[in-house]
Each structure stands twice: as C-alpha cells, then as structure tokens.
Structure 1
C-alpha cells in the first residue's frame, strides 16, 4: 500500500513538474483569480513548512535565507517577464532561466529526499515516511520555491494591471 502511495505521489509531482516546465517556455493567460488562489495556497504551504521545520536557530536562519533568496528570484523574474495583449486578454511569458533555476532546485531537493528515504528504509529495514526527518536546511530550500512564486505572482498581477491601464 505504501508503495502505491509513493508511486502516486511521484506521478503527481512529475505531472506538476512537466506542467511547470511547459509554462516556462510558453505564453500563459494572466488570470487574477487563479493567481490569487495560488498565492494563498503557496503562502499557506510555506507557513506549514516553516512551522514543521522547528524553531532551532539553524532552521530559522535557513527559513529566512530561503525566503530572501526566493523573494529576490521572484523580483528578478517579474522584472524579466514579457507581456503581450491578445484581444481583451493579457498573456505573459516568464523568464526561462529564473523559472528553470527554481524548478531545478525543487526537483533536486525532491529527488534527494526520495533517495534519502529509500536508502534509509533499506538500511534499517523500515517503511519510510516522506514527511519525517530531514536536515534543518530542508525547509529553507523549499521556501525558496514558495517565496519565489508568492512574490512573482503578486508582482505579476501588479504589472498586469499597469500594462492594461496603459493600453
């Protein structure tokens, strides 16, 4: 049963990664409702990661550094985003390099965590729990992605309003 859950989790994450990579290379319609939903969802998940990482000094420093790096990447990504008006709709194309960096960080962390959990369970002869354990730097790495998307989407909506006002 646990293997089925792991396979489903890997398939779901794999699907989302493929969709993310596709979005890095194509135009997307700017939909404020969808972006607002994503902002709230990612902020909530980010807060959960922060609280689950613990309140040690190393974890807090890791979280702060992750948020700062993610916010800086979000600002850089938003300034490099290109907008195009198609009829009444506004489309945007994210910077490929910034999106790729964030995606690679996420995929690398996810793959490392899966490898770590599988080798740990094999060495100890136990079933593994994906959410348990990990280093103090884990949530900081994940918060880079969450902070990036929250900041990026907020700035994207703001820039979209400015582009529409100029048109």
Structure 2
C-alpha cells in the first residue's frame, strides 16, 4: 500500500507540473527576468552534468548533438513567432503554441516510454534493484541511452536559447518603451 501511495504522489506531482506547463503555453505571460535567469542556470547545470557523463561514450555525444541541433531549430522557430504586448503591469509575451507542444510531447512521451519499458522489462522489481542494486547510479539511463539524452538536450537547448532571448528582448523593450 505504501508503494501505491508514493506512486500516486509522483503521478499527481508530474501531472500538476504538466498542467502548469500547458497553462503557461496558452496566452500571454509576464516577462520576469529573475525567473529566466534561474531557469537558464538550472538548464545549463543539468546540460553540463549530462554532457560530462556522456564524454566517454561517442554514441551519447552524437545523440546529444542531434538533440542540441533540434532544440536550437525549435527555439529559432519559436522566437520568430513570439508576440509581445505592453500592459499596465509590464511587458508580456506569447509563445508559439505548436513549438511548446512539440517540446512538451517529447518530454512526456519519453518519460512515458521509459516508465512502460521499465514496467515491461522488470515487472515487480523495485527501480534500485533493476538498475543494479542499492549503490546503482540513479541517472544511469541518461548515461546509457542516447535517445533519452537527445530528448533532454532538445529541451535544454530549446529553453536555454529561448530564455536567453527573452532576457535580452526584455531589456530592449524596457529601455525602448518604459
């Protein structure tokens, strides 16, 4: 019963995060530089950590490169279709819904695929035992699976580029139209 409660908690937390992400995708959102800086630092740290784990495996580096290229392409397309609006509370922006949907579907799809794969390959086996025991690397899938790593780098490169652009554009808008 304890396992079911913890699983339910994880599912609800992930569901809430997805709900918030979808909600942010629809409509105008306020330009908030501090939030963008925090997210840039977070995504850069995650990206560098995963890239450092992949250095010893050329296949993973190839997957990372493909992910970075795809993420930059999505960011370029998303940035070209951004819309800005000045309101009483400050500047607001609206993202390109299709680009955000692609990034979200990639993220959710890859998580769902990994969960289904783990359930089918190791039914009834706790994750730590399936991964090689109590001392196993909890990030082992990222260091062995080029598809998961590539999807991660699509997300990392997309958001790093997008948030960096929003930071620069926000400064330009504030300077020009305050």
Contact 2:64 2:146 in 1 (8 A): no
Q: Distance in 1 between matches of 2:164 and 2:104?
A: 19
Change in 2 beyond 3 A, CA 1:76/1:17: same
SS of equivalent to 2:84: strand
**Which residue among 143, 162, 165 is the counterpart of 1:155?**
165
Give 1:15-164 correspondences, 5 Å limit. 15-53=16-54, 55-122=56-123, 125-129=124-128, 131-133=139-141, 135-164=145-174
Is the Cα–Cα contact under 8 Å of residues 53 and 136 in structure 1 kept in the other structure?
Answer: no
In structure 1, list runs of 5 or more residues that go unmatched.
none
SS in 2 for 1:84: strand
Seen in structure 2, the aligned counterparts of structure 1 residues 147 and 116 have a Cα distance that, compared at 3 Å, is same
Distance change (3 Å), C-alpha of 1:158 and 1:101: same
CA distance in 2, matches of 1:165, 1:52: 41
Alpha-carbon distance between aligned partners in 1 of 2:14 and 2:156, rounded to the nearest angstrom: 15
Give TM-score, length-normalised by structure 1: 0.88
How large is the Cα RMSD of the aligned pairs? Answer: 2.0
Gaps of 5+ in 2: 129-137
* Secondary structure of the structure 2 residue equivalent to 1:137: helix
Q: In 2, Cα distance between the equivalents of 1:120 and 1:4?
A: 23
Return the offset for 1:53: 4.5
Bigger mean CA deviation after superposition, 62-71 or 48-57: 48-57
Q: Distance in 2 between matches of 1:106 and 1:137?
A: 11
Secondary structure of 2:122 counterpart: helix
Aligned length: 165
Higher Cα Rg, which structure = 2
